[in-house]
């Protein structure tokens, strides 16, 4: 960015998540929020920013990048319009409701040579960032299992996708990311209990490329709000609570046995428990800072569209497994971090 000019940003969609994006964008260093697209003309509160009905109206204002926070089914047409007009985009997760749709977005932004990312916000949660760094440093030894639980009341903002695409994509992305492993296979069951078209509960068992087993329990029919990631390995287990951004470690205090018959058994005993002090910056703000830096051409850790596509591929495999009641292999396009 030459001469200190602020990046001109736009926002598409002023729903629950869109309002959070508007709040962060309006206070983001080096960025000016110049316009918001919302067909309903939603109020911007204290933000002195024009709200326009069409993406074309925003493009006419001249923007460097846009944040796409409209319903998932609109991501493809909106994203393709931005790519065709040379505008970089941060697209909310999931990238798209289908593999085909997500692939079109990947190809369009790559062909245009534009910076584009997916809003998998859990990667910027302090507890998970600390967990990933500790796993990378080998603090757990071999990773045996990742178990996630994500449940809470139904979010009335969602009408176009079920719990797998809306919520389980968080767990799919964060699991591949913290372990640096790709999904190889999944087996899943879903149920619909809310009287809606889409599934609202899912249980997934899967296997990652390093032999790690994963379990995901996700629903939006529980009065108990829970966001838990438990990673168990050789030396103990990490528990990340992404609601409070707390990370704890439960050490394996394994006791050596003299009894020859049990010598081969890898015993586990309850050891020390450590709760880490972690600086707790707002994940959405960190996500926006990283994306702004990428648009400015700086080295920055963003979730690429290709990574977003891989998460959609795994989610599609989960839905297929549930529909056909079989275990499904996931395409080996290489989920996890890019080379």
Q: What are phi and psi of 196, to 5 degrees?
A: -100, 170
Residue with tokens 């000016």: 32
pTM: 0.92
Whether 292 and 315 map to the same domain: the answer is no
Whether 127 and 116 map to the same domain: the answer is no
pLDDT of residue 264: 59
Whether residue 210 lies inside any domain: the answer is: yes
Whether residue 132 lies inside any domain: the answer is: yes
pLDDT of residue 268: 77
Whether residue 306 lies inside any domain: the answer is: no
Whether 150 and 114 map to the same domain: the answer is no
pLDDT (tens digit, 9 = 90+) per residue, 38-95?
988 766 666 779 999 999 999 999 999 999 999 999 999 999 999 999 999 999 999 9
Enter the DSSP assignment of 166.
I
pLDDT of residue 3: 52
- Number of structural domains (the chain) is 2
pLDDT (tens digit, 9 = 90+) per residue, 264-308?
556 677 889 999 999 999 999 999 999 999 999 999 999 999 999
pLDDT (tens digit, 9 = 90+) per residue, 186-243?
999 999 988 888 899 999 999 999 999 999 999 999 999 999 999 999 999 999 999 9
Whether 164 and 212 map to the same domain: the answer is yes
Whether residue 49 lies inside any domain: the answer is: yes
Whether 204 and 322 map to the same domain: the answer is yes
Instruction: Examine the pLDDT at 247 and tell me if it is beyond 90.
Output: yes
Whether 274 and 290 map to the same domain: the answer is no
Whether 234 and 95 map to the same domain: the answer is no
Three-state helix/strand/coil letters over 103-149: HHHHHHHHHHCCCEEEECHHHHCHHHHHHHHHHHCCCCCCEEEEEEE
Choose among 294, 331, 312: nearest CA to 105.
Answer: 312
Full residue range of the structural domain in which residue 227 is found:
123-280+311-329
Cβ-based neighbours of 258, under 8 Å, separated by 6 or more? none
- Rounded to the nearest 10 degrees, the angle between the axes of helix 99-112 and helix 75-84 is 10
The CATH number covering residue 16 comes to 3.40.50.720
Whether 183 and 322 map to the same domain: the answer is yes
Residue with tokens 């966001």: 227
Within 10 A of 37 (CB to CB), how many other CB atoms are there?
25
């Amino acid at each position: 960015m030459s001469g200190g000019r602020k990046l001109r940003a736009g926002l598409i969609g002023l729903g629950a998540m869109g309002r959070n994006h508007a709040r962060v964008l309006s206070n983001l260093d080096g960025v000016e929020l110049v316009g918001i697209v919302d067909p309903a003309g939603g109020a911007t509160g204290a933000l002195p920013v024009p709200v326009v009905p069409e993406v074309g109206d925003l493009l006419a204002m001249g923007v460097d990048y846009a944040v796409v926070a409209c319903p998932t089914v609109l991501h493809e047409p909106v994203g393709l319009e931005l790519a065709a007009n040379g505008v970089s985009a941060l697209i909310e997760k999931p990238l798209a409701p289908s593999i085909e749709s997500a692939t079109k977005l990947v190809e369009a932004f790559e062909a245009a040579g534009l910076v584009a990312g997916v809003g998998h916000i859990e990667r910027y949660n302090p507890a998970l960032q600390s967990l990933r760094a500790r796993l990378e440093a080998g603090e757990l030894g071999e990773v045996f299992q990742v178990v996630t639980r994500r449940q809470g009341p139904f979010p009335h903002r969602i009408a176009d996708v079920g719990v797998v695409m809306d919520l389980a994509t968080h767990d799919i992305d964060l699991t591949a990311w913290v372990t640096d492993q790709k999904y190889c296979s999944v087996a899943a069951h879903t149920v619909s209990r809310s009287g809606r078209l889409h599934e609202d509960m899912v249980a997934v068992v899967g296997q990652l490329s390093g032999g790690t087993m994963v379990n995901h329990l996700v629903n939006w029919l529980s009065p108990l709000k829970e966001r838990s990631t438990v990673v168990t390995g050789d030396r103990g287990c990490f528990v990340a609570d992404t609601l409070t951004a707390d990370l704890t470690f439960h050490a394996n205090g394994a006791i050596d046995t003299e009894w020859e018959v049990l010598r081969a058994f890898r015993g586990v005993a309850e050891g020390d428990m450590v709760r880490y002090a972690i600086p707790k910056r707002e994940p959405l703000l960190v996500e926006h800072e990283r994306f702004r830096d990428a648009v400015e051409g700086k080295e920055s850790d963003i979730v690429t569209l290709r990574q977003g596509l891989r998460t959609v591929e795994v989610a599609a495999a989960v839905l297929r497994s549930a529909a056909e009641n079989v275990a499904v292999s996931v395409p080996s396009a290489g989920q996890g971090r890019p080379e």
